[in-house]
Amino acid sequence: MSFQYKNVYLLWISMAVILIDQITKQLVVRHLDWYETVPVMPHLNLVHMKNTGAAFSMLSDAPPAFFVLLGTAVSIGILLWLRRHPRGQTLLAVALSLIMGGALGNVIDRVTRGHVVDFIDFYVGSWHFAAFNVADIAISTGTGLLLLDMLLDARRARRVHPAGGG
């Protein structure tokens, strides 16, 4: 029997994401003017941007309260899941903890600033990916891990119940 710790213990991941996200955003706000660009390495700049919408500035006309309520609802849902599934499912718990940390990192921005601070500018030639931040990285990574967990679950289910077997 392997040791399984409580999924709720993985909330330290959410706290770390929030802390790193807020520290990096504060550094950008203090040291870069709006739209100021600082080259870091080929294909990567730091830039001080304001995002009033969701990913890729979608829904940029929506009020900050909409995103605050959405991020809060997602976080409450994740907390309820962690409580109802106290042990095991580590990959899923890590994924959800990353998503919650990212969501709350951006909620803090919307509550304190009315917008989200984005500052990572990845580009190739004259094409620039949408600017993003640490919270966005955590949400994207968590979503990727969530998809991986679903694929692994489907693979495990096929092994347990092979097609045509009976």
Could you tell me the mean pLDDT of each successive run of 10 residues in the chain, 166 residues long?
66 97 98 96 96 77 88 94 81 94 96 95 94 96 96 83 64
**Euclidean distance between CA atoms 155 and 59, whole angstroms:** 36
- CB under 8 Å to 121, separation ≥6 — which residues? 37, 44, 45, 46, 47, 49, 128, 129, 131
Cα dihedral: 117, 124, 59, 35 (round 10): 40
* Type of residue numbered 38: V
Can 118 be counted among the known catalytic residues?
Answer: yes
The answer as to whether 153 is a domain residue is yes
- Taking alpha carbons only, the member of 103, 129, 128 closest to residue 116 is 103
- Give a yes or no: residue 124 inside a domain: no
| Catalytic residue (one of 21, 109, 121, 136) | 136
H helix runs in the chain, sequence order: 11-31, 64-84, 90-113, 134-160
Residue 49 lies in a domain: yes
What predicted TM-score, i.e. pTM, was given to this entire model? Answer: 0.87
User: Which listed residue (118, 121, 149, 153) is catalytic?
Assistant: 118
pLDDT at residue 3 in the model = 46
Q: Is residue 61 part of a domain?
A: yes
In a domain, residue 82? The reply is yes
Host domain of residue 109: 7-115+130-158
| Number of domains observed in the structure of the chain | 1
Selection from 73, 75, 84 nearest residue 14 by Cα: 75
Exposure pattern of 154-166 as b/e (b: 16+ CB <10 Å)?
Answer: eeeeeeeeeeeee
Domain annotation covers residue 164 = no
Domain membership flag for residue 62: yes
Asked if residue 123 is part of any domain, the answer here is: no
136 is catalytic: yes
